[in-house]
A and B are shown apart, each in its own frame.
Chain A
Amino acid sequence: MTQLPQTTQKKLGLVIDLDTCVGCHACVISCKGWNTQAYGAPLSDMDAYGDQPEGTFLNRVHSFEVARDQAPPMVVHFPKSCLHCDDAPCVTVCPTGASYKRSEDGIVLVNEDACIGCGLCAWACPYGAREMDGASRVMKKCTLCVDRIYNENLPEEDREPACVRTCPSNARHFGDLSDPDSDVSKLVAAREGFDLMPEQDTAPVNKYLPPRARDNLDIPDLASLCDPVPGAADAPAAKGFLGWLDRALEKI
């Protein structure tokens, strides 16, 4: 059912500390590992040994630079996965009922047997948290490791999402954000945790903790020295029909 629940008993989610994340991508790899061997269709790689390899990931780490006027620029590593929003637009757009938000714990999941692979939920998500798998042609997203957190076959310390369990710098925390006395809620309160793109009205459950003030050294403009190579991450020139269209329109 793609109508959202009125309320959820719990709000399980992640708190991600942008101050301590070192950008090692271990969460990306452990997520891919666990979710390829467990719940649902595996996370495939396409053209894995070719010129343009790509694959499905439920969690990716971006790195941003924050340029400041009175201080040196900061580098902030930024892990991003599904935020399990209270007002999840990905759920309500789903035409088949494959996408749903659980009323018991607030986790947003995809029933892969009912997914027609239309991709509309991925379009509706402002955060890019959903990726269509190239091999299984169904939508993949973070499950908050629903097959770990309630799994009594695992030792108790392993009953948390793979990304949280693996993080070597303790930048990821898992818990119930509806309970004001939970560790994660206290952390959010103490560190002034924030929502991503609050103006999109998605009411994310996951919170991010801001980097602490530091590096207040008097160093001139470092940012200009760190300019990445322009265009390095651009798409390759369009080929085929698009390439023809590009050239034809260029000539008009």
Chain B
Amino acid sequence: MHPAPSLILFTTLSGIGFGLLAWLGFGLRTPTGFAAIVFFGLGYGLAGIGLIAAAFHLGHPERALLAFTQWRSSWLSREAVLSAATLAIMAPHAAASAFWDTPLPVLGWIGGALSLVTIFATAMIYAQIRAVPRWHHWSTPPVFVLAGLAGGALLAAKLTIALWLMLALSMAMVAHWVAGDRRLAASGSDAGTATGLGGLGRVRLLEPPHSGRNYLLREMVHIVGRKHAHKLRLIALGLGALAPALLLMLPASYAAAFLALALHLAGMLAQRWLFFAEAEHVVGFYYGR
């Protein structure tokens, strides 16, 4: 699939933003006054930047409000509704913490739970797509949710929890890759079922329908990512989870925490790039790829 920068930024930044908001809601850290402005500002800022980045993916962003209407069937619509609801319900808790030094734990817990469900909904946008077998699996949502929670704990400077979550994230990523590598074959789709001619013999593309590129090839048949998948996995695993975990085992210091955060962000951007770039869409069978 096409690794659009807007979608990579959306999933990574809004994920970590909602992860931080979840911890602030659950009261893992209860900042007040100026500290609350900084922490909640960071959470809202990251979540907001991610959502705005997602709007850049749209052909008609001016109609984006319509995306709040179809929550009964569409995970993308659910994600929109949940993210707006999270930001709205979290707002009184954030304002009360910042301006009156009195966190509102009930709203905080509801907002924290909604934050988690929002990240889950983001993952389900991709995990629901059966035509992309690598995504259509239970191992997809844990990567998104744990990435948000681990990054959020790091931002909240809760280093012990962040360490354990980084280790959990590394296992979730490996599980997603190991399972993902078998998904295309397990889907049962191949050039034979795609054309229905598999019963007659071995099917291969003789002539593509067009000599140039088209929307389908650009969006769904992305090859560069697959070529370098193993290197990018090592980069994502090393920078995104293992190196931050090692840094968090050192005696706590600002330098180590900031470095861990920078490495984690870089690693998660690589992971998310690869998440899209290495995912095979079954429409590729019609194009011999």
Q: Which residues from chain A sit less than 8 Å from chain B, CB to CB?
A: 1-3, 18, 28, 52-57, 60-69, 73-76, 78, 80, 89, 91-98, 114-120, 122-128, 131-132, 134, 137-138, 194-201, 208, 210-211, 226, 228, 233-235, 238, 242, 245-246, 249-250, 252
B121 nearest CB across to chain A (Å): 11
Contacts of A194 in B (CB 8 A): 196
Known: A2-B70, A119-B57. 7 other contacts (CB 8 A): A18-B197, A64-B203, A74-B200, A195-B196, A196-B194, A208-B196, A242-B224
Q: How far is the CB of A229 from chain B (nearest CB, A)?
A: 12
A67: nearest chain-B partner, CB-CB: B202
A-B contact pairs, 30 of them (CB 8 A): A18-B197, A52-B213, A61-B209, A62-B209, A62-B286, A63-B209, A64-B195, A65-B205, A66-B197, A67-B204, A73-B201, A74-B200, A80-B286, A93-B74, A94-B74, A95-B66, A95-B70, A96-B69, A116-B67, A119-B57, A122-B220, A126-B283, A127-B283, A131-B215, A197-B189, A198-B193, A208-B196, A234-B223, A235-B223, A246-B227
User: In the assembled complex, which residues on chain A have CB atoms less than 8 Å from the CB atom of B208?
Assistant: 62, 233
B144 within 8 A of A: no
Cβ-defined contact, A117 with B59, below 8 A: yes
Which of A52, A208, A226 contacts B206, CB < 8 Å? Answer: A226
CB-nearest residue of chain B relative to A194?
B196
Rounded to whole angstroms, the CA-CA distance of A62 and B288 in the bound complex is 10
Contacts of B64 in A (CB 8 A): 116
Taking the closest CB of chain B, its distance from the CB of A20, in whole angstroms, is 15
B122 → chain A, closest Cβ, in Å?
Answer: 13
Cβ–Cβ contact B201 & A137, under 8 A: no
**CB-nearest residue of chain A to B197:** A66
- Asked if residues A124 and B77 are in contact (CB atoms below 8 Å), the reply is no
Q: How far is the CB of B155 from chain A (nearest CB, A)?
A: 27
Any A CB within 8 A of the CB of B102: no
A163 to chain B, nearest CB (A): 14
Cα distance, A139 to B281, chains bound together (Å): 18
- Which of A57, A65, A95 sits near B67, CB closer than 8 Å? A95
B52 within 8 A of A: no
Tell whether, in the assembled complex, residue A116 and residue B215 are in contact, meaning their CB atoms are under 8 Å apart. Answer: no
Closest to A140 in B: B215
A64 to chain B, nearest CB (A): 5
Are B201 and A74 closer than 8 Å at their CB atoms?
yes
Closest Cβ of chain A to B55, distance in Å, is: 9
Which of B38-46, B128-136, B168-176, B256-264 interfaces with chain A? B128-136
Which chain A residue shows the least CB distance to B69? A97
| A69 to B202 alpha-carbon distance, docked (Å) | 9
Q: Are A132 and B215 in contact (CB under 8 A)?
A: yes
- CB contacts under 8 Å to A, within B1-60, are 1, 57-60
Report whether B66 and A114 are in contact in the complex, using a CB–CB cutoff of 8 Å: yes
- B interface residues with partner A (beta carbon < 8 Å): 1, 57-61, 63-64, 66-67, 69-70, 72-77, 80, 125, 128-132, 187-189, 191, 193-197, 200-217, 219-220, 223-224, 227-228, 231-232, 281-283, 286-288
Smallest CB separation, A251 vs chain B (Å):
10
**Which A residues touch B67, using CB under 8 A?**
95-96, 116, 118
Report the separation of the CA atoms of residues A127 and B67 in the bound assembly, to the nearest whole angstrom.
Answer: 24
For B210, give the chain A residue with the smallest CB separation: A60
Complex Cα spacing A125 to B286, Å = 13
Choose one: B58, B200, B287; the contact of A116 (CB below 8 Å): B58
CA distance A61 to B208 in the complex (A): 8
Q: Is the CB of A76 within 8 A of B197?
A: yes
Question: For B232, what are the chain A residues with a Cβ–Cβ distance below 8 Å?
Answer: 249
Q: Are B213 and A54 in contact (CB under 8 A)?
A: yes
CA distance A78 to B203 in the complex (A): 12
Contact of B193 among A66, A95, A196, A211 (CB under 8 A): A196
Contacts of B207 in A (CB 8 A): 62-63, 228
Are B66's CB and A124's CB within 8 A?
Answer: no
| With A114-B66, A252-B231: A200-B282 Cβ-Cβ less than 8 Å | yes
**Residue from A3, A64, A119, A199 in contact with B197 in the complex, judged by beta carbons closer than 8 Å:** A64
Chain B, Cβ-Cβ closest to A132: B215
Q: Are A65 and B206 in contact (CB under 8 A)?
A: yes
Residue among B187, B188, B196, B220 with max Cβ neighbours from chain A (10 Å): B196
Q: A56-B215, A62-B208, A128-B283 are in contact. Are A89 and B66 (CB under 8 A)?
A: no
- Neighbouring A residues of B209 by C-beta, 8 Å: 28, 60-63, 80
Contact check, A68 vs B201: say whether CB atoms are below 8 A apart: yes
Q: How far is the CA of A131 from the CA of B223 in the complex (A)?
A: 19
Residue pair B70, A64 in contact (C-beta under 8 Å): no
